[in-house]
C-alpha cells in the first residue's frame, strides 16, 4: 500500500473524516476495491466507524450538501463553498 494521506493534521474532525472518505472513494474508482480496502485498513475501528457514518451521511445528503454543511463555519480566503 502506498503512503496515502490520513489527514491527521486536520484539526476539524468532520473535515478530516470527509477527506478520508473522499480519498477512499477515489481509490475505489481509480484503482478498485483492493486499494480502497487497503486504505481503510490504515485506520482503527473507531476511525473506520466515523468514516462509515460519513459515507452514510453523504449517501443521504449528497456530496455538495455534505461539503457545504462541513465547511459552513469555516473561513477560507478566496473560497466559496456555495459555488465550488
Whole-prediction pTM: 0.85
**Average pLDDT in the 40-68 region?**
97
21-50 confidence digits (pLDDT tens): 999 999 999 999 999 999 999 999 999 999
Q: Cα torsion at 17, 5, 62, 55 (round to 10°)?
A: -50
- DSSP track, 58-78: HHHH-HHHHHHHHHTT---TT
Question: Domain residues of the chain, as ranges?
Answer: 13-70
Has residue 82 got a pLDDT over 80? no
Amino acid at each position: 500500500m502506498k503512503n496515502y494521506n490520513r489527514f491527521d493534521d486536520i484539526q476539524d474532525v468532520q473535515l478530516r473524516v470527509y477527506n478520508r472518505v473522499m480519498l477512499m472513494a477515489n481509490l475505489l474508482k481509480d484503482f478498485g476495491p483492493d486499494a480502497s480496502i487497503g486504505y481503510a485498513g490504515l485506520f482503527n475501528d473507531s476511525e473506520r466507524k466515523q468514516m462509515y457514518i460519513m459515507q452514510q451521511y453523504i449517501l443521504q445528503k449528497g456530496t455538495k450538501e455534505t461539503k457545504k454543511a462541513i465547511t459552513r463555519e469555516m473561513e477560507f480566503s478566496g473560497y466559496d463553498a456555495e459555488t465550488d
